Homo-oligomer: A and B are copies of this chain.
Amino acid sequence: MHMSTKTRVAVAGASGYAGGELLRLLLAHPQVEIGALTGASNAGQPLGGLQPHLVPLADRILEPTELSVLEGHDVVFLALPHGQSGAIAAQLGEGTVVVDCGADFRLADPGAWAQFYGGEHAGTWPYGLPELPGQRALLAGATRVAVPGCYPTVSTLTLAPAVAAGLVEPEVVVVAASGTSGAGKAAKPHLLGSEIMGNASAYGVGGTHRHTPEITQNLSGLLGEESGTVSVSFTPLLVPMSRGILATCSAPLRPGVTPDDLRSAYAKAYDDERFVHLLPEGQWPQTKSVIGSNAVHVQVTVDAAAGRMVAVGAVDNLAKGTAGAAVQCMNLALGLDEGLGLTTVGIAP
């Protein structure tokens, strides 16, 4: 008798953007069999009307997001509004790998959770950014993974080598221009196409965006324990595109640091990483190069007159910024090849 050796996965929140991207990637994953798909208000509807690009799943009916539906899968992906993952996860045994695309388990500091999200802190799970020093080992064999936020992914990876090597003062400024899919599929007037097209705007200005403490946590973790925290000034922008984030990051250079020092630090950090690409000198990242891919493109330079390092990173917020990272973490958790089902090739133009 032949038993399927494929991993059976469920996706909770299959009608949203993160859920849809997860399914797009999972359909191309050679070791995965797609099990239950759940929705909230959309339960009972066929997926084809909600995600018409997912042709092979068009006839699948969304089920309610409940234990009875999700249990019995090898892996459960949660693509739910923040605050909902904890209750579901608590019901799923350790025999099920749970990969949470939401924010519930990202922060280590309950005070930061309370300040930025409110309500009770659900806990802290292994943080799904394997390209951070030491992080890959924590994800191997994990049964719970907190997928990073989209802004923290690109901001952290764009700054980490310089911060970790002590080449810059721990006072970073991040201005990140994002497409609109990061804001989700819930209909709000300011996200209408009529408002978004031809428009750029800032929001969460002054350090109030919920991804701020996550960036702070990531970068501070790169300093030695006695080194205190990294100060992060983070401003997100909304620009007229569906996908992609371009993060412009800078910090004061430490005395004597040369462009070569920076380039060496970035090369050392990323030359062996398959999903983070330090571009050739003089070539700057653009979001279009990474759309649909799990790649992050990074470049770094020195502004000598201003005495600052400037680094720029590009990511697809839905792919490596959410669903691609989730699949990458599943691969690590299951002991599969880390890149299975993922690509470094973007879709352009």
Contacts and interface: CB of A to CB of B under 8 A. Distances in A.
A331 interface: no
Nearest to A198: B241
Contacts of A180: 192-194, 197
A285 to B, nearest CB: 7
A24 B231 CA distance: 40
Interface string A157-181: 0000000000000010101010111
A211 interface: no
A242 B290 CA distance: 15
A307 interface: yes
A295 B303 CA distance: 31
Contacts of A305: 207, 212, 231-232
Interface stretch (A68-76, A122-130, A183-191): A183-191
A341 to B, nearest CB: 11
A237 B196 contact: no
Contacts of A195: 193, 242, 288, 349
A217 interface: no
A181 to B, nearest CB: 4
- Interface size bracket, A side: 35 or more
A202 B242 contact: no
A287 B177 CA distance: 14
Given A194-B191, A250-B233, A287-B200, A349 B181 contact: yes
A246 B242 contact: no
A124 to B, nearest CB: 21
A137 interface: no
B237 A349 contact: no
Interface stretch (A144-152, A219-227, A276-284): A276-284
A153 B347 CA distance: 21
A277 to B, nearest CB: 6
A202 B53 contact: no
A244 interface: yes
